[in-house]
Chains A and B, each alone.
Chain A
C-alpha cells in the first residue's frame, strides 16, 4: 500500500535530470539529425483542395528533374490502409485510410504522390513538377453543416457524414447509477442548459515530425527512426500496413521534441517511407516542414457541447446530461473515434450526482483528421462541467466556490467510490485542494478589490475563475479497454538487470520525450533496491533494446510503466534474497533488506545487492536449480485508472474598451499522489497550464468556406510566447493511490485539463456585472468585446 512513511533518500528529491547534459549542449539526436550513407529524400505532394477528385497524376516531369530517383502515386506504391485501433461500436464508420489517396482528396494536405531524390532540395524542387488533374468538389468543414441535408459527403459510400454515435446507457460496460431524465422533469429542480464550442487546435510539438528508414536488404530488416511517442505501437501498425514482418522491423524513437498526442499516431508518412525503402532497397528520410505539419499532423478537440445540470434550489447537484458532436476531420486515425469517450464518465466533474447521461456523435468533415491532443477527452469534460457550474451558481445566486464545496464527493467516500457514470475512483482530495487554492488566492480580499475596481468606473475590470478537476489517467486496464472496443491492451513492461560491473540497467516500455523518466525511474530504482541514483541507466524508445511496451500517452508513464518497474524490482529483491540466504547460510526469513543490504537479523552479517548481482552473473555459487543472472521483467496491467485531481484559480484583468485580457495570476493546487521528483511534477503542471491557457485565450485553427486552413503557419496560429504568460503559483496535496504500491497517479495532462475553464470563468466573472454570461473560445479581444456589446444590447 502507500509508502509515504518509508525512508526515501531519492524519491521525493528534486534531482536534476539525467536527460539534460545532451539537450543543453546540442549533443542530442533528433530524427532530423540522423543521416545514413546513400540516403534518399522523400517529399510528399499534397492536395491544395479540401475536396477534389483525382482524374490523373503525371509524374513524368518530376521524374526527369535533377536528382530524382523515383516518384509514386497511390496506384504505384503498394500499401495497405493505416491501422485504426478503436472502432467504438458496431455503428462506428471507419473508412479505409490509405497512406496515399487514390480516388479523391478529402482535406487540404491529403497526400497524393511522393517524390524521392538524392537531396532535400531536389526532392522539393521536383515535387513542384508533379501534375495532378484535379476536379474540385464542394467541401464542408463545419460540424453542423456536415450533418445538414445536402451537405457534401466526405466518404460517399456512407451517404452521410454522421460517423456514428456512442451512447453511454447503451454502449458503456459500466452501469449508470440512474438515468438523468426524471431529474430534469422534476418541477422542484433548477435546471440549466449550456452550449459551448471548442475550437480546433494544432498540437505544435516544437519538433516537427520526421522519419528515417534504414535498410538491411540482405536480411530483410528495416529500422524506422521516427519522431514518435509510440515506437512499439508503430512497429505493430507498420507491419500491418506495409507487410514487413514484425520481428524484422525495429522502430526507434530517438530524442523526440515533444508530442502532446501529435506523435501518438500511425501516420501516412511512416508507412510511405518504409514502403519506399522496401521497394528501392535504400535508406530514405522525410522531414516535415512546419506549415506542412499544420495540415499533415493531427489536430485536436473541435466539438460542440451541450450540457444540462439539474440541482435542488439550495444548490445540491442531482443530474448531468451531455450531448457532444465531435469533428473527426476526413479520416479515422488511430484512436480518433474514441477521443470524446475518454471524457465520457467525467462530465459530472468532482461532484456527486445521482443521474447521468452522456452521448456523442462523430462527424466527418473536409479537414485534417483529429486525434489525441494532451488531455484527450478530459479537458473537454472539465470545460463543460466547470463552465456549467459557474452558470448554475449564477442561476442560483450562489458563490461559485460555495456551490463547488457543497457538491464535492466527500473524502469519507474513499477509497473506491463508484460515481454515477459507473467508474470507480480510488482516491481523491477535492475539497482539500480547493481550500488550499482559495487560501493562496486570498478570495475575500480579491472580491473586495474587484468590487472597488468596478465601482471606480475603471475600464480595467478584474475577474477570478475556478476550475476543480479530476481525470482518469494511467491508461489503462486492458479489460476495460476491451469492453470499450479498443483493440490493444493498456499494460506496460519493465526489465531490471544488475550488470556485472555493478550498474543497474532498466528497460522501460514507455517512451518519454520530455517527461523525464530517465531521471524519475532512476530515483525509484535507487530507493527500492538501495543503489546509487547514478548507477541506474534507464533505456527506452527502441523496440530492439526494449521489445515489450505500449509507450507514452495518457499520463501513464509513471502510473503504469513506473509501477511495472516497481514490480520488476520486487522480483529482483525476491531473487537476491534467495542468493543472500544461500551465501550467508541463513533462512530467507532471517534477512532484512534495507539500503541495498540483506542483513541477518540481529547480526552484522550482510550481503549487498550489487555483490549478489555479480554472484548471480558469475553463477559460481548459486542455490541448486537457480537460473543465473539477477534480472527480472514485469508486465503490469493496472487494475484501475489512476485518479489525480486538483483545483485551479485564475485572475484576469479585462480591458472593457478593447477586450484585451491580462492574465494577472494563475494558481494551481494539484494532487497526483506520491511525487517522485517534485521539480519534474511542477514542470509538467507549468507546461500543461500554459497549453490550457493558450487553448482558452489564443489558439484556434479555422477554415475558410473552401476548406483552406486560415491559421496555416506559425505566424497566424497563436502560440503564446514568454510575454503572454505569467509565472505560475503552485502547491499540492498528496493523497496516495491505494491502487498501486507506490501510491502514484500521473500528472502529464493535469494543467491542460484544468486551465481552460478557469481562464474563461475568470473572463466571464470579470464581465458579469455587465451581464456577460459566455465568451467564445479562444477569448480573443474581439470575442470579448463582442460579448460585452451583446450583453449591453
Chain B
C-alpha cells in the first residue's frame, strides 16, 4: 500500500524524452494540488457558510472525479490531452462558479481565471495562455454587460471577507506551485544545456569513428575533422585543416583514382557516399577506411557540404583477406590433393611410360591452369635429361626437337637435377628472371621439381606460368609431394618395362635354347646312327671277306666321327661367343676385313674372286676376334656359294649410321643367291641349304650370335642367281659417333 501510494505520488518518468518527463512533472503536481484544493475549499465553506456546504461538496466531488481522470491520462502519457482537459476543466469550473454567484466581482472569477491562465502558460505555452486570456476577457465582458443591463448579479451580497481571504489564499498557493514548477524546469533546462554540448563533443571526439565536415567541389575544404584522425593516420587535425588537399595525397595509390572519381561523381548525383578505400599513414602503413557521408543541404535546397565519418576497417579487411587467402590456400590444397589422387590413379592404371607421362602433364596443367608442364628424364650416364612429355603444341614441338638439358647450372632443370632440390624462378623482384624459350613466350615464372624415386634422381618436372609470381614456397611442398608420386610411378613403369623386356628376352632365350637342344640332339645323333650302322656292315664285310666294301664302310665311319667332332667344335665355339667376351675396343672395320681376308687367302687365291672394299667403313666398337670371325664366315660363304660365276665379285661396305649409333655394314656377292623362303632359315643352327657343299651349317648361326652379342642384328637380301647381300649392324665407337653427329 505504501509503495503503491509512493508510486502514485511520484511524477511519471518517460525514458528518452526529457520534455515529456518535464511536462508530466508539472502536470502531476498541479493535479495533486487540484485533488487537495476541493477538500480545502469544502472545509472553508463548511466553517464560513455552512448553508452552502451541499453545493460546495457537489462541486468538490465533480472536481475530484475529473482531476482523477486527468491524473490517469497523465500517467498513461497522454500529456497534451491531459493538459487541455485540465485547463479546459478549470476554466469551465471557475466560469460556472462566477456565473452562478458574483459575476466578474467574485474571487473565483478574478483569481480562479488568473490561476487557469498561469497553468495554461505552464502546460500549453504562450499560445495556450493567450487563448484562455482572450476567452476570459470576453466572458468577463459578457458578465459585466449582464450586470449593467440588470439581467443578472444584481444585489448579490459579496462573500464575507474571511471567505475571500481563504479562497484567495488557495489561489495564491496554486499560482505559487505553478510558478515554482515552471521556474524549476526552466532552471533544469538551463542547467543542463551547456553540459550537453560538452558531452556531445566528448562523445564525438572519443568514439572510434572519425567525423568530418567537408566542402563541395574539386578542391573541397575540410571544415572539421575529429582529432582521432591523428591516432589513425599520424597527421593531426590541424595538418588537415591547413592543407585541404592532404587527404587526397594520403589516398593509397591503387585506390586514389577510383576514390576521387567516385567522390566527384557523388558530389553531383547523390546524397550519400559510401566507399571503402585505403589511406597511407605517416609512418607508411596502410589502413582501410569505410567512408560514409551524407550531403547536407541548406533550407533553400542547395547542397552546402558533406557530413561524414571514417571508420577504421583495417582489421576487418585483414581478417577478410586472411580468410580469403585461407580459402584460396585450402582450395589450392584441395586441387593439389585431387590432382595427386588422379595422378596416382593414372599411374596405377597404366604401366606404359609414355601414356602415363602424357596423362600426368595434362592432368596437372588442366587442374591448375598452368601455362606449360614438361617432364625430363635423365639419360643412362646421367649427363643430361631428355624431354619425354610436355603439354600443348609447344610441348609437342620441343619433344620432336628432342629438347635436351645438361645436368649442371645452365638451366633450371639442370640445377634441379644437380642439387636434387626444387627451384623457383620469378619474373619479378630483385632476382627477376627473364624467360627466353622462343617456344614458350608467355612464361613469366617457373618451378623445377626433382623427380626422385627410391633415393635415385630419375628426372625433373618443370611447371611454368604466365603469371609473374605464380609459385610460392608453400607450393613447393605440395607440388613436390605430387612430383614424388610421379617419380614413383615413372620408376614403376620403367621397372615394368624393363621386366617385360627381360621376360621377352628370357622367353626368346628359352625358345632359342629349346631349338638348340633339339638341333643338337638331332644332328649329333645322325653320325652316331651312321657309325653304329656301318659297324654292323663292317662285321658282315669281314665275314664275307669283302675287303673293298670293308674299306669303304670303314671310311664312312671315320667321316661320321670327323663330322661329329666338327659339330662338337662348332657348338663349343658358339657357346663361347656368349660367355667369353674380350673388352670392347674401337676398331677400324677396314682392319677387320683385312684380317678376315688374310685368313681366307687360300680360298681367295683358288677362286680368283674380285673383292671391292668401300672406303666408307666406320670405326666400330667391339671384340676384334669375334668380328673377324663374322667377316670370315660371311666371306667364306660368299666364296662357297659363288657358283659358276664368270666374274665372281664380293663387295664390302657401309650404308650409313642411325641415331642410336649403329652402323649398317654389308657383304654382297654375285653368287647363286638364296630363295626368299630360306632367308631366315639360313641363320638356323646346322641348317644347310646344300648338303653337297661342305660345312656343318653353324657359320651364319655364329655370325648372328656375335652380331647380337654386340647389340646389332643381321639379315639377308637375296634372290636366286642374283647374288646375296648380308647386312649387319654394329655399334660405332663413341668418339666417331660424336663426330658424325656434329
Chains A and B are bound partners:
no
- Identify the A interface with B (CB < 8 A): none
